[in-house]
């Protein structure tokens, strides 16, 4: 998604809070195979049961720009995607993959260059073959959160999060507003104006002393700051 190009997952997370959209952040530790890569797009959800056929089936319903979001239960005993799956993802026009689990064929994935986010590499592929759940929902689990059709996934060096597609425009608009404010605050910091001065921190301490329920977030919103949401 081009709207994510000048943003980051921290800004999108802040945009969720500003827009009143529940946060769905993946557990920490997920990272791109190629450091610095970024990824955003509609969720193409697939549950992995030990065989590649689940991916091939998902690619058959893929739309260009989709992101394959793989639920492998966060397993650390096997890799569930490798170079052939990623090459097939390229052929299907996918924007990338986000895996709740591990990958393999790291050198080949780097050469292919398609963004792949996972919890790391493992040389062992699956040796199990579990029976698919006949009444499983269309989406997947990713850590404590559900994701699926109707969601957009965002990923960068800070992690991965999911946003309902119907709310993505509002969230990204809020994220852009926060980014502009933070850039201005950073410019003023570099020019010598401290963050305490910019946020009128002494005024906040005085008001908090008079009203212990008064929070720093309330204060920031009153003065138009953007250090935290």
Q: Is 69 annotated as a binding residue?
A: no
Assigned token pair, 165:
């597609």
Main-chain dihedrals φ then ψ at residue 44, nearest 5 degrees? -110, 100
DSSP tag of 198? H
Q: Is 211 annotated as a binding residue?
A: no
- The SS3 assignment for 199 reads coil
Residue-by-residue DSSP string for 27-77: PTT-EESSTT--EEEEEEEEE--SSTHHHHHHHTT--TT-EEEEE-TT-SS
Q: Is 84 annotated as a binding residue?
A: yes
Q: Is 202 annotated as a binding residue?
A: no
* Closest of 146, 152, 138 to residue 39, by C-alpha: 152
| Residues flagged as binding site for substrate | 82-85, 104
Binding residue ranges for Mg(2+): 105
Residues at the binding site are 82-85, 104-105
């Amino acid at each position: 998604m081009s709207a994510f190009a000048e943003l980051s997952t921290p800004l999108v997370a802040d945009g969720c809070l500003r827009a009143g959209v529940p946060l769905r952040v993946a557990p920490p530790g997920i990272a791109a195979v190629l450091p610095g890569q970024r990824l955003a797009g509609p969720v193409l959800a697939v549950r992995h049961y030990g065989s590649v056929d689940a991916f091939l089936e998902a690619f058959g319903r893929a739309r260009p720009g989709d992101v394959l979001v793989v639920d492998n239960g966060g397993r650390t005993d096997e890799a569930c995607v490798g170079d052939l799956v990623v090459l097939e993802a390229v052929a299907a026009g996918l924007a990338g993959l986000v895996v709740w689990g591990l990958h393999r064929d790291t050198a080949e994935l780097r050469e292919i260059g398609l963004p792949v986010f996972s919890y790391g590499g493992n040389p062992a592929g699956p040796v199990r073959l579990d029976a698919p759940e006949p009444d499983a929902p269309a989406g997947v689990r990713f850590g404590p959160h559900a994701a699926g059709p109707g969601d957009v996934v965002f990923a960068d060096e800070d992690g991965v999060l999911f946003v309902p597609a119907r709310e993505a425009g509002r969230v990204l608009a809020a994220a852009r507003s926060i980014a502009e404010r933070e850039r201005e605050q950073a410019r003023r910091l570099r020019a010598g104006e401290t963050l305490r001065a910019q946020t009128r921190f002494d005024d906040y301490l005085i008001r908090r002393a008079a009203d212990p329920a008064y929070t720093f977030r309330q204060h920031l919103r009153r003065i138009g700051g953007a250090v935290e949401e």
